[in-house]
Amino acid sequence: MRSDAPAPEAPHPDVYVGRDGWLFLTGGSNRVLAQYGVPGFSRAALWRWRRLLEDRVRRCNRLGIRFAHVVAPEKLSVQLDALDGLEFDPDRAPALRLARWLRLSIAQGAWIDLVGPFRARARASALYRRTDSHWTFAGGLLAYQAICRHLGVAPREDFEARRTGSDDLMNTGDLGLKLDPPRAEVAESCVFASEARRVHANRLLLELEAKGRGYDAHIGAQAVFRNAAAPDPRRLVLFGDSYAHHTPNPRTGTLTPLLADTFAEVHMLWSTSVDWAYLERVRPDFVVTEIAERFMIDLPQRNFSIERLAELAMARKGV
């Protein structure tokens, strides 16, 4: 006798299924859950991060640039009510431990805490997609507001009124794709009308876009945006990853479009490292480095060029 009942969902070793359909990344190459254990994120790694951020502060000071560093928290660090029995200590989150290690350091003033604000808001609004490791529009907006306030810049308050696109489309997130069958969710639109325009993109990004693969341009991608209508006339350079992104993502909240709507000029470089030669040429008013919490396990290189990184990425992707 044939049954029309759907096949049971196959578990995935890297994904924890929490309450009400919330999916959490726990494994993968970064061994995410293990970073919260004992020893977890090692003291040696914390000490190296402290010295790295101190070096960034000093070098930016010499260039007359205001520097800030922000960590995009893991869902494990924030959505605690949805974990439903997963045994781990969320207060051993790498971002929280590094914040403690920065006490009495010159880098403490450059640190932007997102774990605290995200935890405080998590019950009131969804800051992450249920089937994705990335932010909703509300999560990206909260991170943007924290960055602006830390830099002494008034965040724009009219994004919600300028949002465009449909809020009722089914979409499968990066964690939902790992399940069998894939799990989808209704995802809100994360795009909005803006006067910001991209005025430059490097060869890696342009060639992948020409092949219809623009969203495959990750490490090594670079883009520059200008906005004649921006309320702040200054220039900002953002070194980041998928939580920053060079292109607005319709279904996840990202930092670059929000910042490009606020500052007259924004440069986005997809890298966890800082290209100091690039900063000497551009001479921005602000530099913000952003990194996903799970990627902190790999300390960024101290010296690199975005051009060389793009060349390596192009060779790897066969561009």
> What is the tens place of the pLDDT at every residue in 122-159?
989 999 999 999 999 999 999 999 999 999 999 999 99
Domain coverage including residue 54: 15-317
Indicate whether 248 belongs to any domain: yes
Cis peptide bond prior to 181, omega within 30° of 0: yes
Q: For residue 238, give the amino acid letter.
A: L
- Over range 171-199, report the average pLDDT: 96
Query: What would the mean pLDDT of 74-78 be, rounded to a whole number?
Result: 98
Which of 66-75, 191-200, 211-220 is predicted with the least confidence, judged by mean pLDDT? 211-220
Backbone phi and psi for residue 227, each to the nearest 5 degrees, phi listed first: -145, 100
CA distance 172 to 170: 7
Quick check: is 4 in a domain?
A: no
pLDDT (tens digit per residue) in 210-261: 999 998 999 999 999 999 999 999 999 999 999 999 999 999 999 999 999 9
- CA–CA dist 91, 76 (Å, integer): 10
β-bridge mates for residue 16, sequence order: 24
Query: Beta-carbon neighbour count of residue 7 at 10 Å?
Result: 8
Number of domains, the chain? 1
- Asked if residue 6 belongs to a domain, the reply is no
Rg (CA), the chain: 20
Which pLDDT value is given to residue 1? 43
Average pLDDT, the chain: 94
pLDDT tier for residue 63 given thresholds of 50, 70 and 90: very high
Q: Looking at residue 6, what is its pLDDT?
A: 54
Ranges 70-74, 83-87, 289-293: which has the least confidence: 83-87
- Cα 221 from Cα 314, distance rounded (Å): 10
Residue 10 lies in a domain: no
Q: What is the pTM of this model?
A: 0.95
